């Protein structure tokens, strides 16, 4: 996988900065614009915009995921 990433994106995975990410599949028909880079979402806006647009099943999975502790990683809200 690392060699494929390096060939396609010209990134050395071992030297790249790593972030904790999560994919949130939104409900069908959700139309949502990303935040302005100069005006980041706080957690209240995040919940209003994203969490309310998750299906019940995905909301439960999201809640379970975010409750897991991860060493040396902090969200950047």
Percent of the chain with pLDDT over 90: 19
Work out the average pLDDT over 70-76.
Answer: 60
pLDDT digit string, tens, across residues 42-67: 888 888 888 889 999 999 988 888 78
Which has more confidence, 14 or 20?
A: 14
- Chain-centroid distance of CA 44 in Å reads 16
Judged on CB neighbours under 10 Å (0-12, 13-18, 19+), 26 is middle
Question: pLDDT-based confidence at 34, cuts 50/70/90?
Answer: confident
């Amino acid at each position: 996988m690392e060699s494929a990433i390096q060939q396609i994106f010209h990134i050395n995975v071992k030297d790249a900065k790593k972030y904790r990410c999560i994919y949130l599949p939104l409900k069908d028909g959700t139309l949502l614009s990303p935040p302005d880079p100069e005006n980041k979402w706080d957690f209240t806006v995040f919940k209003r915009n994203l969490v309310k647009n998750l299906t019940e099943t995905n909301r439960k999975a999201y809640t379970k995921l975010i409750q897991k502790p991860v060493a040396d990683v902090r969200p950047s809200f």
